[in-house]
Amino acid sequence: MIPAMLHFSITTVAAASADFRRVQWTGSHSQLVVMTVPPGGEIGEEVHEVDQILAFVGGVGEAVVEGETREVVPGDLVVVPAGTTHNFVNTGPNPLVLYTIYAPPEHADGTVHRTRDEAEAAEDAGLDEPARA
């Protein structure tokens, strides 16, 4: 049974995770994921069939959404509607740290990918699919 309320100090949780992707919580209609992109790294160009909201809590980078590029810094929020091509690139000397909310869930509950390569291998193998009701 899902508790009535979960409470996260999300900035602390996100900053404490060195993993490229860590599913923090999955509900029936949305999902909370924390991500850390190393210096010089990127999430990789992708398109989801779900809506995504990304909130940046550490580092600096670039958001590239449908070919438009904007700087992202802590405190910024980027909305990526379903079907939109996007990528996020770390342009600074420190990790780019963010949390993202997918609606509905995009990844299998409990997913942890230490690196982008690990994430891509899991996706290619079909091991990162969310359970659908």
pLDDT tens for residues 53-74? 999 999 999 999 999 999 999 9
Average pLDDT, the chain: 89
- Laid out side by side, the sheet with 77-80 consists of 77-80, 51-58, 96-103, 31-37, 21-26, 112-113
In a domain, 22, yes or no: yes
Question: Could you tell me the pTM of the whole model?
Answer: 0.83
Q: Locate 94 and state its tokens.
A: 């420190």
pLDDT at 133: 46
Residue 108 lies in a domain: yes
* Edge-to-edge order in the sheet of strand 61-65: 68-72, 61-65, 86-90
Residue at 2 is within a domain: no
Question: pLDDT, tens digit, for every residue of 83-117?
Answer: 999 999 999 999 999 999 999 888 788 888 888 88
Residues of the chain with pLDDT > 90, as a percent, come to 63
pLDDT at 1 over 70: no
Number of domains in the chain: 1
Q: Is residue 33 part of a domain?
A: yes
Residue 127 has pLDDT above 80, yes or no: no
